[in-house]
Amino acid sequence: MYDVIIIGAGVSGCAAARELSRYDLKVLVVESAEDVCCGTSKANSAIVHAGYDAKPGTLMAKLNVEGNRMMEQVCQDLDVPFDRIGSLVVCRSDEDRSVLDKLLEQGRQNNVPGLRIVDRDELKEMEPHITDETQWALYAPTGGVVCPFTLTVAYAENAAANGVQFMFDTCVDQVIPTQSDTGKFFVLETSKGQLQAEVVVNAAGVYADRFHNQVSKEKIHITPRRGSYNLMDKSAGNHVRHVIFPLPSDKGKGTLVTPTVHGNLLIGPTAVDIEDPEGTNTTAQELDAVVQTSGKYIADIPYRETITSFAGLRAHEDGHEFRIGEVEDCPGFVDCAGIESPGLTSAPAIGVMVAECVSKILNAEKKMDFDPLREGVLDPKTLTPEAYIELIRQEPAYGNIVCRCESITEGEIIDAIRRTPGAKSLDGVKRRTRAGMGRCQAGFCSPRVMEILSRELGVPLEEITKSGGESRIIVGKDKFAG
Amino acid sequence: MNRTKIAVIGGGPAGLAAAIEAKKAGEDSILVLERDRCLGGILNQCIHNGFGLHTFKEELTGPEYAQRFIDQVRELEIPCRLGTMVMSIAMAEDGSSDKIVTYLNHEEGLVQLRAEAVILAMGCRERPRGALNIPGFRPAGIYTAGTAQKLVNIDGFMPGRSVVILGSGDIGLIMARRMTLEGAKVQAVAELMPYSGGLKRNIVQCLDDFGIPLKLSHTVVNIEGKERVKAVTIAKVDERNKPIPGTEERFECDTLLLSCGLLPENELTSGLGAVISPVTRGPEVNESLETSIPGVFACGNVLHVHDLVDFVSQEAAQAGRNAARFVQGQAGETPTPDIRVTAENGVRYTVPEIINPGRMEDTLTLRFRVGAVYQDIYESVYVNDRRILHRKKKIAAPGEMETVVIKKDSFDQAGEVKSITVRLEEE
C-alpha cells in the first residue's frame, strides 16, 4: 500500500512527485510509457510564459505567474537550462493595437511585471527580422525558454533521490475507490497487476478525464488539441531573439517563433482538435500552416534549415482551466487535470499546490533529510580545458564524441543511462543528453548509442528501442552475421 | 602548444589523398585527425564494387579502395589520430596566418594544435526526415540509407524486412539492392523529381536487375505506426512537387529508407568564418581549392557532394599539393585579380568558384552540376567573350557531376581576363 500514487510521469506528475518527496510519504509514480516525459511534456513550445494571456482570477493565471516566478530557483536547484529572453506579442495593424492593450491590462491584473507596449521602431531594433507590416508589440521581459525534457527528468530524478518510486510501462486501467475496515483507499488495476494507495493524483494528461470520470459523478471532458512544429538548425537560432507570438485566438496563443534554450529555432504550433489521444502525427496541412502563419510576422525564416517536425497534444479541458485539487465527491482523489499551456510554466507551482493538497489529506509531516538539489548530466564543454583534461584522465569515455552534431560524449550518455530513473532507449538518451537531437537527427550516432545502451543495460542490441514498446531499431541479424 | 605544418581534418578518401599528396610534395609535418575508430571514412561501409575505375582502372570495393590509400599513408609514415573529434578551428590570436585546431580524444584529452595550413575533408551527412517535411508519425523504422548501410554492412544487423525507399540517391539505390540480397522485400523507390538523383549504372544494377520499381515524381505523404513503421503512403506530385490527390498508393512495410540528398558538413568551416556557397553548401574556393581564409583548403564531399570517389581523390590531391606549396612559401604573390566564375544557363554552380589566372596550374579542372536533364547539349566555357571550350554531351543530368579541363594557355590567348563563364548551349 502506497500513501500516494501519481498517475503520469509528465512534467506535472514529476513536479508533484518531487514536491511530495519533501514529506514523509511513500510515493509511487506510474507511467504507461517507458520513461518520463513521453507525452505532452515532450512536444510543446518549451516556453515560460509571462502570464498575461490567462483570464484574471483563474487558477491558470495564478499558477502561470507563480510558476514563472519560481522557475529561476527551480532550474538552479535542479540544474535545468532556462533563459529569460523575454517575449513579444506582435500585431500588424493599428486596429489590433487594442488587443495588445487588453493583454497589457490583463497582465497587470495578473501581476505580470515589466509589461509594456513597444512601437515599430523599437520592435525593429529588438527583432530585425520583423516583417514590414508589423506595427506594435507587447513586450514581457519575464517570458523565457526552458528545456522541457530536462525539467521533467530533473524533477523525476530529484523525486527519486528523495525516495519516490517509479513504475514504467505500466498502464492504469481502472481506479477503484475501496472501503475496508481500516479506512478508505484506492485500488488501481494496471497492466502490471493491482496497486493500492490512500491518495491518487491524476496527472494523466490527455487521459486525465478517463480516470476522473471513473471516480466522480461530475464528469469532465478533455480534448487532445494537436500542435505541430518545425525545428530548425542551430545555424538559424539567431533569427529571432525573443519568443514572438502573433495575437492570440480562441484556440490559443497562436503560432510562435522562438529560439530554443539550446539555440535552435522553433516555429509552431497549430491548434487542431482531434479524437485520438495518441494522434501525434503531423499532417501536410498543419506543417504548411506553421510555415504560412509564421511568415506573416517574421521575414526570411530559413525553412530550409528545418531538421525535424513533430506534433504534440494539449490536454484541453472544456472549461479551459486547470483542475487541481481533491475531487469533491471522491475524497482522496486529487485531480491535476486540464494542464495545457501554460502548464509547463506553471509546473513548479502545480507541484507545490498538489503536494500541499495531498499532505493535508494525509496529515503528512515534512522530512528533515529532503535534498532539493540535483546535478545534471555533466556537460564537459562547460569545463575549463584543464578540468576537461583531468576529467578525461579519470573517465576516458568523456573523450569519445558519440553525437558529432551536438558534441555529446560517451561519458554523458553513460551518465544518463545510469541515473534513476535512467535512459533505456534512444529517445531517453536523446532527451537527457541531446545526442541525436542535432542536424543529422541521429543518423550517425544511433548505432553507437545503441551499442552503449546494450552494453550498459546488459540487453542484446536487437532489444534496443527508439522509445520502448515495439519500437525496436533492428529486426535481426543479417545473413552473414546470422 | 602542439604544432604541425598541415592539419588534415578527416581521414576518409579526401583527407587521405590530400595528406599523401602533401607528403609527396615534400612536406613532412602533417597530422590527420579522424573522428572514427579507423581510417577510410564512409568507404568502409560501401562494400559494393565499382570504386576506382578511373584511378586504378579496376573495380574495387569501398574498403579495398580506401585500403590502397591507407597503405600509402602508412608507408609514407604520415601520423594519424583516430577517435579524434575536431571541436573548432580558429585563427591564431597573434595576428599570424596560423590556425588553432582544437581536438578531443580519450588519450590526449582536449588538445590545441597550431597549424600553418588546414585541409578540410570532413565529408557530408544525409538529409534527415525532418528536412524533407514528410508528414505522419515518428516511429522506429525510418532511417537514412547510410545509417541502414552501416547497420547492415558494419554491424551485421537488419534494420527491417519490408522496405520503401524515398529518394533515388546513389546510397538509396545501393541499399535497395543490398536489402534485397539480405532477404528483405524492397517494394518501391519513390523519387520526388522527374529524374533520378543517382548514377544511371546504379539504377540498372540495383533496381532494374531486381525488378524494383522506380516511381519518379512521387513522394511520401504519410507514415503510419506509432511504435514501428506499419505502412507508408506515396503519391504522385505535380510540377510544383505538390502531391496529387487520388494518386495515393499505400505500402504495408516496416521500414522507410531515405536517400534524399547529402549536405556537406561545414560547421567547422563556418565557425572559422570561411565563406560558404549557398548552392553547394561547401566553402567557396579558388583555383588552388583554397577557401576565403588563406591557408585553409577544402576537398571531397565537404566542398561539394561528389558521385565518384575517384574524383574526390583527384580533387584532394590538388588540395594537398597546394597546401604543401602554401606552407613552403611557394604559393606566390597574386599576380592578377581574382575572377568569379559565372555559372549560367543550366549550370548550377562550379567548383572552384573563383579563379586567379595568374596562379593557375597548367590545367584546371572545373567541376559543376546541371539543374535538369539535358540531351544533346553543349558545355561551353568562355573567357571574356571568347569561347575556349565547347563540348557536346549526349546527356547531362543533375545526378552526374560534370567535369571540364581548361588549359592555362587558352587563358593567355584571351588577353586580360575579365570574366569566366560556364554555360550550357543548344549548339
How does pLDDT run across A9-37, given as a tens digit for each residue? 999 999 999 999 999 999 999 999 999 99
Question: Exposed e or buried b for every residue in A388-399, given b needs 16+ CB within 10 A?
Answer: bbebbeebbbbb
Q: DSSP string of B328-341?
A: TT-S----S--EEE
Residues 20-79, chain B: which have Cβ within 8 Å of A? 35
B339-344 vs B363-370, strand pairing mode: unpaired
Instruction: Report if residue A130 sits inside a domain.
Output: yes
Q: Domain limits at A459?
A: 380-463
A60-73 average pLDDT score: 98
How many A×B Cβ pairs under 8 Å? Answer: 141
Res B130 pLDDT > 90: no
Contact A470 B228 (CB under 8 A): yes
CA distances (Å), A191 to each of A37, A132, B394, in order?
A: 20, 56, 66
Res B332 pLDDT > 70: no
User: Pick from A284, A399, A477: which is nearest to B158 by CB?
Assistant: A477
Q: Give me A452's grid cell.
A: 552503449
Overall number of domains in chain A:
3
The CATH number assigned to the domain holding A436 equals 1.10.10
The average confidence (pLDDT) of chain A is: 96
Do A37 and A185 belong together in one domain? yes
Res A481 pLDDT > 70: no
Please answer whether residues B148 and A461 qualify as being in contact, where contact means their C-beta atoms are separated by less than 8 angstroms.
Answer: no
Do A96 and A129 belong together in one domain? yes
Do A131 and A179 belong together in one domain? no
The CATH number assigned to the domain holding A106 equals 3.30.9.10
pLDDT tens column, A274-315: 999 999 999 999 999 999 999 999 999 999 999 999 999 999
Please answer whether residues A259 and A265 qualify as being in contact, where contact means their C-beta atoms are separated by less than 8 angstroms.
Answer: yes
Write down the pLDDT at residue A183.
87
Nearest one of A182, A168, A158, A160 to A348, comparing CA atoms: A158
Chain B residue numbers with beta carbons less than 8 Å from the beta carbon of A386 are none
Res A354 pLDDT > 70: yes
Q: How far apart are CA A82 and CA A75, in angstroms?
A: 7
Do A198 and A331 belong together in one domain? yes
Residues 343-402, chain B: which have Cβ within 8 Å of A? none
What band does B330 get if pLDDT is binned at 50, 70 and 90?
Answer: confident
B174-195 average pLDDT score: 96
Chain B residue numbers with beta carbons less than 8 Å from the beta carbon of A441 are 128-130
What band does B288 get if pLDDT is binned at 50, 70 and 90?
Answer: very high
Do A454 and A406 belong together in one domain? yes
Do A392 and A457 belong together in one domain? yes
Instruction: Report if residue A468 sits inside a domain.
Output: no
Give the residue on A whose Cα is nearest the Cα of B137: A281
Nearest one of B239, B220, B133, B138 to B172, comparing CA atoms: B220
Residues 358-397, chain A: which have Cβ within 8 Å of B? 385, 388-389, 392-393, 396-397
Q: How far apart are CA B363 and CA B85, in angstroms?
A: 35
Res A51 pLDDT > 80: yes
A127-137 average pLDDT score: 95
Instruction: Report if residue A175 sits inside a domain.
Output: yes
Quick check: A475 contacting B, CB < 8 Å? yes
Q: At what angle do helices A426-433 and A446-457 cross, to 10 degrees?
A: 100
The CATH number assigned to the domain holding A333 equals 3.50.50.60
Q: Give me B228's grid cell.
A: 514501428
Of the three residues A259, A282, A315, the one that is the final residue of a domain is: A315
Do A187 and A235 belong together in one domain? no
Please answer whether residues B347 and B363 qualify as being in contact, where contact means their C-beta atoms are separated by less than 8 angstroms.
Answer: no
What band does B336 get if pLDDT is binned at 50, 70 and 90?
Answer: confident
Write down the pLDDT at residue A251.
80
User: Pick from A308, A397, A479: which is nearest to B128 by CB?
Assistant: A308
Do A285 and A183 belong together in one domain? no
Instruction: Report if residue A72 sits inside a domain.
Output: no
Which of A266, A474, A477, A479 to mutate: most B Cβ within 10 Å? A474
What band does A479 get if pLDDT is binned at 50, 70 and 90?
Answer: confident
pLDDT tens column, A172-209: 999 999 998 888 999 999 999 999 999 999 999 999 99
Do A301 and A242 belong together in one domain? yes
Write down the pLDDT at residue B396.
94
Of the three residues A362, A397, A424, the one that is the final residue of a domain is: A362
A100-118 average pLDDT score: 97
Do A355 and A452 belong together in one domain? no
Q: How far is B38 from chain A (nearest CA, A)?
A: 14
Q: How far is B315 from chain A (nearest CA, A)?
A: 25
Whole-number percent of chain A with pLDDT over 90:
94
Do A346 and A241 belong together in one domain? no
B78-93 average pLDDT score: 97
Do A343 and A387 belong together in one domain? no
Say how many CA atoms lie within 13 Å of A452 toward its Cβ: 28
Annotated catalytic residue A262: no
B191-199 average pLDDT score: 91
